[in-house]
């Protein structure tokens, strides 16, 4: 009986401990559920506040960066001087900015560009690698800033994620087209240079061949080239003279009954050619000597 009572008391104690543990666990789970519920209820507010903070940070970075871009464009255009006769310092004082600090910032816009890009990416979710195209276009002025809008291809683009994405894609296409054109021009230039190199190599080989031939003949390259040119002239002249060879003048044959005027014109043509040749020959002999002279005789122009 004693053992049975002891066992019963131990069981009651264990049940009490189990019940206590259950209650504590239940309270703990309820606390976690309550805490999670608070987080869930607060999530929209947190996201809303986070979005507002991101928007404010972006607007601040945008305003700072765009202001510097605007001041850069103004300084480079010097319109303040041409239209109003103001100096850069006077213009800065007029708009309420410190010209020294402004010049320091304009000397290196990269930090402000990076800050703008970082906040823009954080705000819109665009990839950083894509946003850099937009900044580069602003620096080169293919994209300009007009208040809170972008001017691109003559259109005013609102500074909104979707509109900016369209501009970025167009800039990427333009850059790709420009790159393709540069690559094509480069290939054309390289091909032209290769062709010119081949042509020069061919000329060099021909010159070397002529020099070898001239050397074999006991001539200089200049002499060999000149003699070849004279030989070509003689060959050409002989071919030309065949056209006026009397035996080839079928128009003047008896069978064709040529007129006196036709025969006279033919004779006059040959006479004119003869006189031109004789005149050139006499002048050449006077200036350079006749074809029977030898170089070692030391003949001088104008002397018999």
Q: Give the model's pLDDT for residue 63.
A: 74
Residue 135 in contact with residue 141, Cβ under 8 Å?
no
Last residue of a domain, one of 143, 159, 175: 159
Q: What is the DSSP string of 239-252?
A: HHHGGG-GGG-GGG
Q: Is residue 64 part of a domain?
A: yes
What parts of the chain have a pLDDT lower than 50?
Answer: 1-9, 296, 298-299, 302-304
In the chain the beta strands, taken as DSSP E runs, fall at 143-146, 149-152, 155-158
Rounded distance between C-alpha atoms, residue 128 and residue 168, angstroms: 12
Same domain, 145 and 255: no
Same domain, 155 and 250: no
Rounded distance between C-alpha atoms, residue 265 and residue 246, angstroms: 13
Last residue of a domain, one of 131, 159, 187: 159
CA 290 to centroid of chain Cα atoms: 64
Q: Give the model's pLDDT for residue 84.
A: 83
Exposure string of 218-245, with b = 16+ CB inside 10 Å and e = fewer, is ebeeeebeeeeeeeeeeeeeeeeeeeee
Q: Is residue 122 part of a domain?
A: yes
Q: Give the model's pLDDT for residue 201.
A: 81
Rounded distance between C-alpha atoms, residue 43 and residue 117, angstroms: 27
Same domain, 148 and 254: no
C-alpha closest to that of 167 among 145, 195, 188, 147: 145
* Strand 155-158 to 143-146 pairing: unpaired
Rounded distance between C-alpha atoms, residue 253 and residue 257, angstroms: 7
C-alpha closest to that of 223 among 149, 121, 295, 145: 295
Tens of pLDDT, residue by residue over 129-148, are: 555 556 555 555 555 555 55
Q: Is residue 187 part of a domain?
A: no
Last residue of a domain, one of 140, 159, 178: 159
Question: Whole domain around residue 270: which residue ranges?
Answer: 246-291+300-304
Question: What residues contact residue 174 under an 8 Å CB cut-off, 6+ apart?
Answer: 142
Q: Is residue 93 part of a domain?
A: yes
Query: How many domains, in total, are found in the chain?
Result: 2
Q: Is residue 173 part of a domain?
A: no
Q: Give the model's pLDDT for residue 261.
A: 93
Q: Is residue 152 part of a domain?
A: yes
Rounded distance between C-alpha atoms, residue 125 and residue 131, angstroms: 10
Query: Which two tokens mark 265?
Result: 């014109």
Q: Give the model's pLDDT for residue 275.
A: 94
| Helix (H/G/I), strand (E/B), else coil: 98 | coil
Range 70-76, long-range pairs (CB < 8 A, 24+ positions): 70/145, 71/97, 71/102, 71/106, 72/106, 72/109, 73/141, 73/144, 75/106
Q: What is the reported pTM?
A: 0.33
Q: Is residue 47 part of a domain?
A: yes
151 beta partners = 144, 156
Same domain, 51 and 149: yes
Would you tell me how many other CB atoms lie within 10 Å of the CB of residue 145? 18
Residue 82: CA count within 13 A, CB half-sphere: 6
- How is residue 157 annotated by DSSP? E
Q: Give the model's pLDDT for residue 222.
A: 82
C-alpha closest to that of 251 among 241, 237, 261: 261
In order of 24, 46, 293, the CA distances from 31 in angstroms are 10, 21, 129
Query: Which two tokens mark 132?
Result: 């850099």
Rounded distance between C-alpha atoms, residue 183 and residue 176, angstroms: 10
Same domain, 151 and 250: no
Same domain, 250 and 152: no
Same domain, 144 and 259: no
Q: Give the model's pLDDT for residue 73.
A: 82
């Amino acid at each position: 009986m004693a053992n049975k009572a002891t066992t019963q008391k131990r069981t009651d104690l264990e049940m009490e401990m189990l019940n206590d543990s259950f209650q504590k666990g239940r309270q703990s789970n309820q606390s976690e559920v309550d805490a999670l519920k608070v987080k869930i209820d607060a999530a929209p507010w947190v996201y809303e506040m986070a979005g507002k903070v991101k928007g404010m940070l972006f607007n601040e970075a945008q305003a700072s960066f765009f202001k510097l871009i605007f001041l850069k464009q103004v300084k480079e255009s010097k319109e303040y001087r041409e239209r109003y006769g103001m100096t850069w310092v006077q213009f800065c004082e007029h708009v309420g900015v410190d010209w020294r600090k402004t010049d320091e910032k304009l000397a290196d816009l990269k930090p402000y560009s990076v800050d703008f890009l970082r906040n823009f990416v954080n705000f819109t979710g665009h990839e950083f690698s894509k946003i850099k195209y937009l900044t580069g276009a602003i620096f080169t002025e293919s994209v300009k800033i007009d208040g809170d809008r972008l001017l691109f291809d003559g259109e005013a683009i609102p500074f909104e994620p979707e509109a900016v994405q369209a501009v970025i894609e167009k800039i990427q296409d333009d850059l790709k087209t420009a790159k393709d054109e540069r690559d094509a021009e480069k290939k054309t230039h390289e091909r032209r240079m290769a062709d010119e190199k081949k042509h020069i190599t061919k000329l060099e080989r021909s010159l070397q061949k002529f020099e070898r031939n001239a050397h074999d003949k006991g001539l200089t390259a200049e002499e060999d080239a000149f003699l070849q040119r004279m030989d070509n002239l003689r060959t050409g002249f002989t071919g030309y003279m065949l056209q006026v060879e009397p035996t080839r003048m079928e128009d003047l044959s008896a069978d064709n009954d040529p007129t006196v005027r036709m025969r006279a014109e033919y004779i006059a043509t040959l006479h004119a050619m003869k006189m031109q040749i004789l005149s050139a020959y006499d002048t050449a002999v006077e200036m350079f000597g006749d074809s029977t002279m030898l170089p070692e005789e030391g003949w001088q122009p104008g002397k018999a």
